[in-house]
Chains A and B, each alone.
Chain A
Amino acid sequence: MSTKTNIKEIIYIKTTRNFKSIIVLIVLLIFIFILSVFLGPSKINAFEIIKIITSNIFTNKSEFILSTAAHTIIINLRVPRSLLAITTGIILSSSGSTYQAIFKNPLADPYLLGVGTGAGLGAVIGLTIYPSNMSFANVGAALFAFTGGLLAVFLTYNLSNYSKNLNHLSLILAGVAITSILGAFTTLILITQNPEIKPILSWLLGGFSLASWEHFNIVFFSGIPCVILLFSQHNKINILNLDSKQVKSLGINERKTITLLIIASTLSASIAVSQTGIIGFIGLVAPHISRMAWGTNPKYLIPQASLIGAIILLSSDIIAKTILSPTEIPVGLITAFLGFPFFVHLLRKEGNIYG
């Protein structure tokens, strides 16, 4: 931009343009949601789908009789599945954006910090003690996952402090170390609990193929309040990107703020993991794309990244359920395939920012 740029243009770029981008992303997400409900291994024609959805919305449930297979697939499988993918995308991206500010590291995400594996280990322990065919097993897994996730993030944080300076590399190395050790424990449990292995293994790969309203409700009602809390702290998150000395100069109690934010973002991310398995890279890729396109202010970054995360994850799920139809691929594999070229891009182009 030239020196002739005036204040109106700057305010437009920093506020109005961001606001408009959020509207566009919402419209795009709704479009992909509709697509996701329309697509699936069983062929149901569009007209019937519209009829099922409208009848479900406008008919009182008590007088409802029409309970065909198509109806069950749409209302009890595809809709909750798509909503779960959206909610998970929102949670992973907003907690990713928050971790990146807290740890002063644009590479931090729930997966790389060990939260994913920690929550996974917790959930596996939970499911081993309290198998998934019992009632409230999903809630139990969620609680174990939260404990595991929180433990992992504190281990990573403390381990990275061993190198005295909290720099980019030490945090990522600590995350890798914690991820591998917790992953090893998970494998150990899986091997020793032989008969249970298959359902847990498919869950670990991450995916929405088993999604139900129960999963959605657990993730939505515990995760979205955390996301709202994170968003309400956007100015503090903005300041936390600065040096600790400057954070203090601006009157922010860094330790107190960070503790609150870590609990909220780890809680939401862990619960998402407990119900959907380990889905990597969304929390890293979505905030990064958003920052490249529209800037770093968390007031806009959190909603933008959340919507981008939801769009990527929902699209990945559409690919997961259609590309090898009728066989499904775990969505975690799709996001891993998307994540790899992204990392290569980071290494090649932005080494000076992220090095």
Chain B
Amino acid sequence: MDKISCISLNKTSLRFNNSSFELFANITIKEGEKILLIGPNGSGKSSLIQLISGHITPNKGEVLLKNMHKTNKESKEISELISYMPQSPYLPLHFDVFDFVITGRFSNNNIKTNLSENDYKLTMQILKKINLFNKWDSKLAHLSGGEKQLALLAHNLIQNKPIQLFDEPTSNLDPFNQSEVMNLILYSSLNKPITTIVSTHDINFAWKFNRVIMIKNGVIFKDGSPDKIITTKNLSSLYEKEIKVKKINNKHFVLTH
């Protein structure tokens, strides 16, 4: 049996008022797929993610989620399906880490009641996993850029939604944290078929995902498994720079210089 289509963008296009840039996408994403989104700055990665999350409405075409038509009126239903980590959101700097992360546990079910003891436990667990537990009572203002990003990531992971979108989740992290965080994003809940879409500039993570979508100037340039499409030729024409893909000890490496 085929896996159900989870997200589909049917000839969806998006235009911005004061620019000639247009995003066009016609893609189907199946439940449980792990997708990496790559492309140069300004190619439309963030816009594509926000079309799916419902933060931007398309000018033409439609976005279907689990075959449910998505409009703004149904934002409550969408919020139960999707979590979305924006690139550099405003942060309430006077919050401590724990109080910030635990807000991810709010949903339409408990907004009128209260957080349970379980929500507190989950918050503690995620902070431990993400190596931020030693700062649970520090104000966000006193964290480094990377630590703020980790807190934001924890806020998103703790939502435990079936579709998880991350817009450059590792941009402020050191290389070791980057790889740990990617693993956390990909394997945090193996028992559930979670659909994950991550945008990044670090192409070396591509082989951890089962599908890579390349975007260039608002259109899908290549779409397929990393083994097939992450090639010297494709990357070089995607970024219009000389990029090499090498295999060392059976591991792939992308060399940008």
> How far, in whole Å, are A248 and B165 apart by their CA atoms in the complex?
14
B124 near A: Cβ within 8 Å? yes
CB atoms of A10 and B120 under 8 A apart: yes
A71 near B: Cβ within 8 Å? no
CB atoms of B103 and A238 under 8 A apart: yes
Which 6 A/B pairs are nearest by Cβ-Cβ distance? A251-B79, A243-B89, A241-B92, A353-B141, A243-B90, A245-B86
CB atoms of B136 and A241 under 8 A apart: no
CB atoms of B75 and A10 under 8 A apart: no
Which residues on the A side are within 8 Å of B95 (C-beta)?
Answer: 241, 296
> How far, in whole Å, are A252 and B104 apart by their CA atoms in the complex?
12
Question: Quick one: given A243-B86, A245-B89, A249-B53, are A235 and B94 in contact (CB under 8 Å)?
Answer: no
What 0/1 pattern do residues 241 to 255 of A give for CB contact below 8 A with B?
111111011111100
Give 23 A-B contacts (CB < 8 Å), ordered by A residue: A1-B137, A5-B133, A5-B136, A7-B124, A11-B117, A104-B90, A104-B92, A236-B111, A238-B103, A238-B106, A241-B92, A241-B95, A243-B90, A245-B55, A245-B84, A246-B84, A248-B79, A249-B83, A250-B79, A251-B108, A251-B111, A295-B96, A354-B94
- The number of residues on chain A lying at the interface, defined by a beta carbon within 8 Å of a beta carbon of chain B, is 36
CB atoms of A295 and B99 under 8 A apart: yes
B93 near A: Cβ within 8 Å? yes
Among B80, B92, B99, B136: residue with most chain A CB under 10 A: B92
A322 near B: Cβ within 8 Å? no
B139 near A: Cβ within 8 Å? yes
Which residues on the B side are within 8 Å of A239 (C-beta)?
Answer: 103, 106, 111
> How far, in whole Å, are A251 and B103 apart by their CA atoms in the complex?
12
CB atoms of A3 and B133 under 8 A apart: yes
> How far, in whole Å, are A350 and B94 apart by their CA atoms in the complex?
10
In the complex, what residue of chain B is closest to A352 when comparing beta carbons? B141
> How far, in whole Å, are A353 and B93 apart by their CA atoms in the complex?
6
CB atoms of B106 and A248 under 8 A apart: no
Nearest Cβ on chain A to B223's Cβ, whole angstroms: 26
Nearest Cβ on chain B to A326's Cβ, whole angstroms: 43
CB atoms of B114 and A235 under 8 A apart: yes
CB atoms of A242 and B83 under 8 A apart: no
CB atoms of B98 and A10 under 8 A apart: yes
> How far, in whole Å, are A71 and B139 apart by their CA atoms in the complex?
52
CB atoms of B111 and A235 under 8 A apart: yes
